[in-house]
Amino acid sequence: MVLLIIGGISAYKQYTKTTPEEKTMRCIANGAVLYSKTTCVFCKQQKEILGQYISFFKIIECDEAPEICQLKQITGTPNWEINEKFYRGVKSIKELADLVGCECNANINVVKNSSETCSVEDTNKTCTTEVQTICTE
């Protein structure tokens, strides 16, 4: 009986082991809020960068919660709030990790820096951004 319990605990630890990617993304998510807009193409790109880890993040959609974005004086999206400062534009995982103060040692698909943003009034803009698959510069 004891061996069965120990075996189960060991299997559970193996199953729930946190990957370096997950550790990096949880660290970033714990220190950042994304202000977005459902119709903003750049916001869509930012969410694609977050990928399977998007559920870790607090995301405020400015077209669905305009009072919050007005209170925070959000004039363009995507916009990140990190350590009480705001950073506009699409950010790579490396950039977000640096801004939050997280170690970024994982292989995560990231989009190279783009300073493009959507104003709160903009809809349906298109753009292309080069993708790299490393978490380091």
Partners of 35 in the β-ladder: 60, 79
pLDDT at residue 127, as a whole number: 41
The predicted-structure confidence for 8-32, as pLDDT tens digits, reads as follows 555 555 556 888 999 999 999 999 9
**Separation of alpha carbons 78 and 90, rounded Å:** 6
The predicted-structure confidence for 33-51, as pLDDT tens digits, reads as follows 999 999 999 999 999 999 9
The predicted-structure confidence for 97-116, as pLDDT tens digits, reads as follows 999 999 887 665 544 444 44
Domains within the chain, CATH numbers bracketed: 20-132 (3.40.30.10)
**Separation of alpha carbons 5 and 73, rounded Å:** 54
Q: What is the pTM of this model?
A: 0.70
